[in-house]
Amino acid sequence: MLKKRNDFTIRPNDQPQRKTATSDLWDIVIGRSILITTVKGKLEAQSLADKLNEDSHYLYRGQTRSDKGFVKRVNKMVDSVTT
């Protein structure tokens, strides 16, 4: 089991051009300076930061074609056409 980190933290998004009456934007940062992503809602931001602290590649998981099932769908389509 990997050691849980505390590198990813959250902070309120303070960009004035993004402020609206209903916005509750939070930044997930690493090292207190490098912005990783912006999330709407404090609870969701904390949840994502916790997941990133457990697995620093969490946002990259499931982004390949094979992970999304693309290869299986294409193979299935090819098999149905050739038979």
Domain regions of the chain by residue span: 8-82
Contacts of 58-67 with CB under 8 Å at 24 or more apart are none
Q: Look at residue 8 in the predicted model and tell me its pLDDT.
A: 92
- The closest of 51, 62, 59 to 4, measured between CA atoms, is 51
Phi, psi for residue 58 in degrees, rounded to 5 = -55, -40
Question: Tens of pLDDT along 58-69?
Answer: 888 776 666 656
| Sign of the torsion angle spanned by Cα atoms 33, 14, 18, 23 | positive
28 or 3, greater pLDDT: 28
User: pTM here?
Assistant: 0.68
| 17-46: average pLDDT | 85
